[in-house]
């Protein structure tokens, strides 16, 4: 299908007499025409970065989308903006299928003093863009059609059943099955899977499995301030599973941006959000340009809104480490589920958490697949001792440093000592002993996942 896109892009380039590039709706490069001009303004920083990195930054995307390209049904002319790294004007041909934008064809507008494309040539180019839209829609549908095979891999038991499920998915994906992928878990996910997810090889909804009902206790200090969890167990809710294609192991930003857009979003949401993929995706600047502030700032504001709303609704996402081929996909899915659970337990991870960044929760999420009921911590974790549990957790998070813990809790050091003595009385543990500290710390963190 890659060759089909290239042929169609070359056809548009020939019709309009200008090099064309094709990007999907997430501004990821799919194909581009040959460039043989001596005009230095033709290869401006934005165009150069798009071709070299095969993607554009979130700020660049927001800047171009401000011209209404996502709603347009015909060619859109965008003026040059040297301060933004756009040295030559652009002509954007929206690529649509049944009214839904699938991507964009970009061309450099005519040089000053020279005539631009004739209306008839633009009409012919739009017809080619419609053919591209059909291909992009079919490719997205193909990924959705693999939901049964994908679900079988994620739910099959270990052993020959899982091996057969992986083999079936590999056969369905064809050569693409041997490529680089990342597994993603978004939970809770109500309803059916989306019709298409940009960059996804397969999408499915994984039914609810055993776990606590939504709305239960969210661990130490729930609802009492910093560190309060949203009160649901990610592993127990229906989840959206996405198998994202990757180009390289160190180019996760497009995948993380795609995941962020799956989270709930409302225009009224406000707030700084967390440290997840949103900050990475919106914090970039156009290479060599200054696409920031003004219209471009809408991208960052929108991403912050997504983060705030997702956190408020208790929806989180986990992204596993990239895997090549499908043999390790079941393990990658477990990583994604664990990362989503960690994001629900610790808002500081943001609504989108990567497995590689969740620290001790990589182990705790595996150990605490079921609610932990350690006798030493049972009394402390009761709702009546919530403030004591939070005090103990902060103290252990601060490596047992009383001064830091008291400051973090906003209490006097003597108050801290009194509370820690009460913790020792309730648990029977000695907080001067390393193993007792380890046991209590693990119990408190595991409670967040339950």
Per-position pLDDT tens, the chain of length 450 = 455 788 899 999 999 888 888 988 878 788 876 655 555 545 556 656 555 555 667 777 888 888 999 999 999 998 887 776 677 788 999 999 888 888 999 988 876 667 778 889 999 999 999 999 988 887 766 655 788 889 999 988 888 888 999 998 888 887 778 888 999 999 888 878 876 677 788 889 998 654 433 333 344 544 333 333 333 334 467 899 999 888 777 767 767 777 887 886 422 232 333 333 333 333 333 333 333 333 333 333 333 433 444 444 588 999 999 999 898 999 999 999 989 988 888 888 888 999 999 888 888 877 655 556 778 888 898 889 999 999 998 999 899 999 999 999 999 999 999 999 999 999 999 999 988 898 888 888 877 776
Interval 85-113: pLDDT, tens: 677 788 999 999 888 888 999 988 876 66
Q: Which helix (H) or strand (E) holds 100?
A: strand 100-108
Please report where in the chains the tokens 């079936």 appear, as a residue.
Answer: 168
> CB of 75 within 8 A of CB of 128?
no
279 alpha carbon, distance to own chain's centre: 11
In which region does residue 223 sit, left (phi positive, over 0), alpha (psi from -120 to 50) or beta (all else)? left
Q: Which residue blocks in 54-108 are alpha helix, DSSP H? A: 58-65
**Which helix (H) or strand (E) segment is 132 a member of?**
helix 119-144
| pTM, two decimal places | 0.53
| In 109-179, beta strands by DSSP E | none
- Residue 30: what pLDDT? 84
Distance CA(409)–CA(226), nearest Å, equals: 9
Q: How many Cα atoms occupy the beta-carbon half-sphere of 162 within 13 Å?
A: 13
Q: Considering only CA atoms, which of 317, 314, 307 is closest in space to residue 186?
A: 317
Q: What are phi and psi of 343, to 5 degrees?
A: -65, -35
pLDDT score for 280: 34
- Residue 74: CB atoms within 10 A of its CB come to 11
100 vs 92: CA distance, rounded Å: 16
Structural tokens at position 82: 């040297």
Find the length of the chain. 450
**What pLDDT is stored for residue 115 in this prediction?**
72
Q: What is the 3-state secondary structure (H, E, C) of 225-286?
A: CCCCCCCCCHHHCCEEEEEEEECCCCCCHHHHHHHHCCCCCCCCCCCCCCCCHHHHHHCCCC
Structure tokens at 379: 């009394």
Q: Are 342 and 361 spatial neighbours (Cβ–Cβ below 8 Å)?
A: yes
């Amino acid at each position: 299908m890659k060759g089909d896109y290239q042929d169609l892009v070359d056809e548009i380039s020939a019709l309009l007499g200008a090099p064309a590039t094709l990007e999907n709706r997430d501004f990821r490069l799919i194909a581009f025409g040959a460039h043989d001009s001596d005009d230095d303004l033709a290869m401006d920083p934005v165009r150069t970065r798009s071709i070299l990195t095969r993607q554009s930054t979130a700020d660049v995307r927001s800047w171009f989308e401000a011209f209404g390209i996502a709603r347009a049904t015909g060619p859109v002319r965008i003026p040059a903006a040297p301060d933004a790294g756009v040295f030559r004007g652009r002509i954007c041909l929206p690529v649509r299928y049944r009214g839904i934008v699938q991507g964009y064809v970009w061309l450099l507008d005519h040089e000053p003093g020279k005539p631009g494309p004739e209306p008839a040539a633009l009409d012919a180019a739009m017809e080619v863009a419609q053919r591209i839209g059909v291909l992009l829609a079919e490719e997205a549908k193909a990924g959705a059609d693999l939901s049964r095979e994908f679900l079988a891999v994620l739910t099959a038991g270990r052993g020959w059943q899982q091996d057969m499920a992986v083999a079936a998915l590999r056969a369905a994906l064809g050569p693409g099955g041997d490529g680089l992928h990342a597994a993603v878990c978004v939970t809770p996910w109500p309803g059916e899977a989306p019709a298409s997810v940009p960059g996804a090889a397969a999408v499915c909804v994984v039914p609810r499995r055993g776990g606590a009902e939504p709305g239960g206790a969210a661990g130490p200090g729930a609802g009492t301030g910093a560190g309060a969890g949203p009160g649901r167990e990610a592993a127990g809710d229906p989840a959206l599973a996405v198998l994202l294609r990757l180009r390289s192991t160190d180019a996760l930003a497009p995948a993380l941006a795609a995941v962020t857009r799956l989270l709930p979003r409302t225009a009224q949401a406000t707030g700084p959000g967390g440290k997840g993929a949103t900050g990475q995706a919106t914090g970039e600047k156009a290479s060599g340009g200054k696409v920031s502030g003004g219209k471009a700032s809408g991208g960052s504001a929108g991403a912050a809104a997504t983060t705030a709303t997702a956190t408020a609704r208790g929806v989180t996402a986990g992204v596993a480490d990239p895997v090549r081929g499908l043999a390790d996909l079941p393990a990658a899915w477990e990583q994604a589920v664990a990362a989503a659970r960690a994001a629900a337990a610790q808002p500081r991870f943001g609504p989108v958490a990567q497995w590689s960044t969740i620290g001790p929760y990589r182990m705790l999420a595996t150990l605490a697949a079921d609610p932990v009921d350690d006798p030493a911590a049972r009394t402390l974790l009761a709702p009546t001792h919530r403030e004591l549990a939070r005090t103990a957790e902060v103290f252990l998070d601060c490596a047992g440093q009383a001064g830091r813990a008291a400051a973090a809790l906003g209490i006097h050091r003597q108050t801290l000592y009194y509370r820690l003595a009460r913790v020792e009385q309730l648990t029977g543990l000695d907080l001067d002993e390393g193993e007792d500290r380890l046991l209590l710390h693990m119990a408190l963190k595991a409670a967040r996942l339950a």
